Amino acid sequence: MCHGSVGLVAKALEAAGIPTVSVFIRAFRHTAVKLNVPRVLVTPHLMGRTIGPVGDRARQRHVVEAALQLLQQADAPGTIEDFEPGGLRLEADRREHRTGDS
């Protein structure tokens, strides 16, 4: 599924009252912003390996845990957080406070 479709499905699920979190690669961060995707975890990985390198179960698990943490801790839709290999950057990047798309 393409990143745009993921964002649109997330918005539809949220409209039905089902909270979501989407995982995007950094190259498509602008798509998440443009589509106003409800909650997004942005990873530094390659396309096709959104949650991490093939066979790197520890990294993949860390990304999934970070996504679940974001779902649990984000107080409202419109949150973008960056996943860093050394740990999740904890400050939420709220769209209403954004100054750029980095």
Instruction: Please count the CA atoms within 13 angstroms of the CA of 41 that sit on its side-chain side.
Output: 30
> Is the distance from CB of 14 to CB of 38 less than 8 angstroms?
yes
Phi, psi for 22 (deg, rounded to 5): -110, 150
pLDDT of residue 48: 92
Domain span at residue 28 reads 3-97
pLDDT of residue 75: 78
| Average confidence (pLDDT) per 10 residues, the chain, 102 residues | 84 94 95 92 94 94 95 87 71 41 44
On whether residue 83 sits in a domain, the answer given is: yes
pLDDT of residue 14: 93
CA pair distance 19, 38, nearest whole angstrom: 8
Phi, psi for 24 (deg, rounded to 5): -120, 155
| 33: DSSP letter | H
Report H helices in 1-102: 3-15, 29-35, 57-73
pLDDT of residue 87: 60
The domain total for the chain is: 1
On whether residue 47 sits in a domain, the answer given is: yes
On whether residue 102 sits in a domain, the answer given is: no
7 token code pair: 């964002």
On whether residue 35 sits in a domain, the answer given is: yes
pTM of the model: 0.80
